[in-house]
Structure 1
Amino acid sequence: MSASRSWHASAALVPALFVLLWSTGFIGAKLGLPHAEPFTFLAVRMVIAGALLLAFALVSGAPWPANAAAAGRIAIAGLLVHAVYLGGVFYAIAHGLPAGIAALIVGIQPLLTAALAARLLGERVTRAQWFGLALGLAGVAMVVGGRGGAGVGQVSAGGVVAIFAALFGITLGTLYQKRHCAGMDLRSGGVIQYGATALALGALAFGFETRHIEWTGEFVFALAWLVLVLSVGAVGLLYTLIRRGEAARVASLFYLTPPVTAVMAWGLFDERLGALSLAGMAVVMAGVVLANRVAR
């Protein structure tokens, strides 16, 4: 009986561990980007993560897509979720957007997904959910506006475009994967997605960046953390939660990422939020909690 209680207690910690690890992705970006340009940084990360998954897929005998069309659909989903989303986040942070703000903007992804699902997947979205979406967007505007001269004014126009491209990339990628790649094997599918992403971001690095990397201890640590803890560990926890039949609750975990990231950014990089920004964060949280409750 005690062993059973211990197992359930450990299982209950998985969602909290997932939120903690997922939130560190923005911190890892901030930590590594001073030593490498964003597309170069991500291309190297994807090559290493893809190689690790390939070795695991081969050793474990993972099944591969039945045909090129199926592999192509998996690659498209990966390009949206990894190349557009991660590329946008890293580019925006590299061009001055605070990590906490980046996390907050892309953190409204579950609400945007719900809105688009109504049209693309025929899912019903209630009035309360629409209100939650509007409330969340208003909160984002308050947070960004509340930054005033504390960093947001230094963000380039490209950085602003990039972070919203990231938001739509993860949203459309989630919907596309749900519709076309539901049966994807996580091992072989991950190889395809990371491989396609590495090619796309590598092309951008060769086209627009110097590809210079400062192999400092800080950069190596950030790279290793993002590969092992995020690309392998956090994603593995995410799929574990989904397989346990908690998909509806998993979405709510993403709502906790912005405040956790903001606290980490404050502690590590002294990224401060003023009164209006803190109030805006509370509004965002209220909006997403409302939408999540009515969705259940």
Structure 2
Amino acid sequence: MTVQASASAGGRPEWVNAMPAVFVVLWSTGFIGAKYGLPYAEPLTFLLVRLALVAVVLAAVALATKAPWPKTWREAGRIALAGLLVHGVYLSGVFCAISKGVPAGVAALIVGVQPLLTAALSGPLLGERVSGRQWGGLLLGLVGVALVVSEKVHFDSGNVAGVGLAVAALLGITFGTLYQKRHGTAMDLRSGAAIQYAATAAVLAVAAPLFETMQIRWTGEFVFALLWLSFVLSVGAIFLLFALIRRGAAARVASLFYLTPPVTAVIAWAMFDERLGLLALAGMAIAVGGVALVNRA
């Protein structure tokens, strides 16, 4: 098979074209994994075990494959900071918000504002231009996300702390994506990810004992959720995210997060028989159309 035969009409290999779709599906399973694992461990404790496990595995892989490591402490510090934002602030915010009673739909909707926030900041921070068509697609995607989650939103106005944690998660994934685009695109994914997970696990090792009992019930469901979130999400999905950030503009990559709530809803329907109404189906279609507008060549 020649290179031309294995490439798409646009001149890129098929696996490159499939990366966004695979990322969306993998990222969407995060809420499903949380639903399986959080009943058996507190959120920071769960994340500490998960990220420490991944850090050890990736460090071993980086050493075994002789991956290059950062040449200066400054470079390593920048890599670690991006990891603390993307992994520490985002994941901790989402997990803790859900554990405090914020419905998953509300958390998804708050974090779903990320593409708009990223687009607004990518110009002054990265010098990227967001066209009028892309702004229209971002707004259309936000409308679609709102329709998908609106059927299941039961917002408790008194849950200020939980909502604040979800907003912190939004800021973490937004600034983490922008910072990674600006300072971390040259990092080796093996050694760089190992540094990011180790740095985040070190912070959680201090925070978890302060706020939680750190008790874990090692059930089959918890082990499955831990392994899935550790390797499919924290390795597979994150590697895809960083690869997409390298290849595309930050606003275009961020628009993919609009597809997460609809795809999560489909997975929840298949696994837990959570029904989708006409409003949710319409929102899914609108969100897909918004992403298509943002990413159209």
Answer yes or no: is 1:231 the counterpart of 2:231.
no
The match for 2:43 among 2, 26, 38 is 38
Judging by fraction of residues, say which structure has more helix: 1
What are the residue-to-residue correspondences of 1:53-92 with 2, within 5 Å?
A: 53-92=58-97
> What is the total number of aligned residue pairs between the two structures?
291
State the one-letter code of the partner of 2:187. Answer: M
1:125 alignment partner in structure 2: 130
Task: Describe the shift of the 1:230–1:145 C-alpha distance in structure 2 as closer, same or farther (beyond 3 A).
Answer: closer
Contact 1:38 1:91 in 2 (8 A): yes
Answer yes or no: is 1:158 the counterpart of 2:133.
no
Task: Describe the shift of the 1:132–1:238 C-alpha distance in structure 2 as closer, same or farther (beyond 3 A).
Answer: closer
1:184 alignment partner in structure 2: 187
My pick for the range that moved more, 249-258 or 169-178, is 249-258
**TM-aligned CA deviation for residue 51 of structure 1:** 0.2
3-state DSSP of counterpart to 2:218: coil
2:269 alignment partner in structure 1: 266
Instruction: Give % identity.
Output: 63
State the one-letter code of the partner of 2:58. Answer: L
**TM-aligned CA deviation for residue 146 of structure 1:** 3.6
Q: How far apart are the structure 1 equivalents of 2:117 and 2:265? A: 21
Q: How far apart are the structure 1 equivalents of 2:208 and 2:93? A: 13
**TM-aligned CA deviation for residue 233 of structure 1:** 2.5
The match for 1:51 among 49, 52, 56 is 56
My pick for the range that moved more, 35-44 or 102-111, is 102-111
Deviations 1:22-64 (A, max 9, x none): 2212211111001111111001111000000111111111222
State the one-letter code of the partner of 1:184. Answer: M
The TM-score, its normalising length taken from structure 2, stands at: 0.83
3-state DSSP of counterpart to 1:134: helix
Answer yes or no: is 1:205 the counterpart of 2:208.
yes
**TM-aligned CA deviation for residue 163 of structure 1:** 2.1
Contact 1:87 1:201 in 2 (8 A): no
**TM-aligned CA deviation for residue 252 of structure 1:** 5.5
Q: How far apart are the structure 1 equivalents of 2:272 and 2:164? A: 24
Unaligned 5+ segments in structure 1 are none
Contact 2:112 2:142 in 1 (8 A): no
The TM-score, its normalising length taken from structure 1, stands at: 0.83
Q: How far apart are the structure 2 equivalents of 1:115 and 1:55? A: 39
Contact 2:255 2:294 in 1 (8 A): no
1:27 alignment partner in structure 2: 32
**TM-aligned CA deviation for residue 268 of structure 1:** 2.9
**TM-aligned CA deviation for residue 77 of structure 1:** 0.5
2:225 alignment partner in structure 1: 222
**TM-aligned CA deviation for residue 236 of structure 1:** 3.6
Q: How far apart are the structure 2 equivalents of 1:155 and 1:16? A: 37
State the one-letter code of the partner of 1:36. Answer: A
RMSD between aligned residues: 3.1
Contact 2:118 2:254 in 1 (8 A): no
**TM-aligned CA deviation for residue 17 of structure 1:** 3.6
State the one-letter code of the partner of 2:34. Answer: A
Contact 1:97 1:155 in 2 (8 A): no
1:170 alignment partner in structure 2: 173
Q: How far apart are the structure 2 equivalents of 1:83 and 1:263? A: 27
